[in-house]
Amino acid sequence: MSGIEGYVDMSGIEGYVDMSGIEGCVDMSGIEGCVDMSGIVGCVDMSGIVGCVDMSGIEGCVDMSGIEGYVDMSGIEGCVDMSGIVGCVDMSGIVGCVDMSGIEGCVDMSGIVGCVDMSGIVGCVD
């Protein structure tokens, strides 16, 4: 799914995934809960990933409550490692490459502004 600088609607992946305008707002509601990643370069609200993750204003404030595991967010503008959210989520280089491996399977979102590979969201989506 290369060239995401517009609109991607991936309906029916164990719920509903609406990734509208990755450079503006990403709403990934219904991936075994509810993920709302609004405005990646502004505000990310990832509520309900078997708990509640609120990453409001990545370049400002990060509140990651109740992850049920381990969250290491080293250098948000460089590398984000969110290991242990019922599996392993590695979001390396938000403004470059996002690897979300092991959210009830494996999600690889490499190069948000380039290509999104969401393999294995309760199955496999490439």
pLDDT 10s digits, 4-30 = 333 334 444 333 334 443 333 344 444
Cα separation, 124 vs 70, in Å, equals 25
Cα separation, 101 vs 54, in Å, equals 19
pLDDT band at 86 (very low <50, low <70, confident <90, very high): very low
The verdict on residue 57 lying in a domain is yes
Cα separation, 97 vs 36, in Å, equals 19
Residue 84's pLDDT is what? 38
Residue 32's pLDDT is what? 40
Residue 52's pLDDT is what? 35
The verdict on residue 117 lying in a domain is no
- What is the residue range of 42's domain? 7-109
Cα separation, 6 vs 24, in Å, equals 9
The verdict on residue 104 lying in a domain is yes
